[in-house]
Structure 1
């Protein structure tokens, strides 16, 4: 079936009609002729913005380890997100089950593989280094090359305990000749953020980089030189908002220093989706409007950037959304509240060739 979306507004302001057919999207003339024999549905989106389908690059969309999990079809397409990437909820022990669950989701699902084989079945999954089994990781990477987008290593004191920086060192040594993406969670130290940053390379994704914790990229309102050095090496930046990892103050300092957006993501799971401060990817994107980023920068950080970084196949997924003039209160992970007068609101998606009203 073909879909014709009329009166779409692109991010550059262009007013177009879009034809969706066979996982392809093309602009068509406003006088595009419909043949009676064509199996085609027409939707007038009335001047709403239309972008590629949104990708949330950091979710906990596996339902296996509640409460720190969710369902892809609750944090996915009903919120304007057509692809969710689970950020290491599961390790090698449970990735088979998660893969089979994901096949029944309407939302597209990809996953980072937690380097600890037990994943988030325990919140200190790297306190026992015996949980890191690279032979088992290798086996699962070969089984699910299209599903697994990289490896996840969580580097907070409460997770690694006495193992310090060793889990990261082991992971990067394993990855030397593989060029997998390695998502590195940062939080409270030790290990110190400076020691983590010095190890990272162009295949690494620094997650939670806008947190406001003591062990952050900011010291006395200045950006660490080690952070600046990591950017020169090509390290990728992932927001990963979550319950404890996004600070308006850190965001303001980073914006002032003209550090570009790479990946805007939520670190969403059931509780922070229902009760905040995350709620949805659109809500997190609105916070970046507040910080002064352009709409193009924001949309690129949830579309073309993750598609490129994770080598996701081109598809016909689209997200249709408005920017509404509305007085709202926004709160970061540290309790700072701000007032803002706009909100990004998803209206519908095109997902796997289907138009879905939200």
Structure 2
């Protein structure tokens, strides 16, 4: 549900496209990797490696976010975070984002101002620049983000390199966003630790290049659910993965929320998406870098099992299911 535009409030139609772009971009600092920022036909971003990692996502109001659950500023942060997590999952250092916003002409200009504030907040946290984009009119609010990254001499870490005998590890938190979604769906707004994780995830950007440097053989952003996304590694690598629940920490906060709502905290950890943790495989258990937690092993076969057997129920999010 979009925030109502107060009577007499300035709308995006009142401000106009180019004035709105100026408001979004004016006086914003850029990192050294931005050689030419907003204001021309295209931006120029340094890529010392000679290769550019690129990823894009589309977020649609009512599907990926609701303004009665999240503020425009939080939505802006999330839009940038979910894209930069994909770049980090390739073992690259994020360098820049480009932003596309489509919205009705009656949208309050303040909503776009707050969206951009959140985008700049997350970009600054990741040490990247918002280097350009586009604004247009549509019947619904849609945000499109393209994220860029620099491998800095590393080989990209794809989903297709896992080998039998590797260990599986994760960096970042799991289950918090799913718990936050459950809380919001029941009409509550706390505890803040889980609701905040759903509204504005904080991916471990530095963990991606760290894993690449440690010899990770495959890696993925956990966006749809741990088991579902590990399944993508299995399919791409032609291997099987067994996840051990005795190795997975279930935070006490998730236990408390599940107890209050009648949910299953371990289910949130295994299948809940949108925390944007990273999952990777490593050839040597001793080589798993600090901050990463071993949760399973890669074996011969196909698909993902939990404690040696199939997992009952959905393993993560799928559009159109």
The answer to whether TM tops 0.5 is no
Q: TM-score range by the shorter chain?
A: under 0.3
Between Structure 1 and Structure 2, the one with more helix by share is: 2
Between Structure 1 and Structure 2, the one with more strand by share is: 1
Q: Which structure has the higher relative contact order (CA within 8 Å, separation 6+)?
A: 2
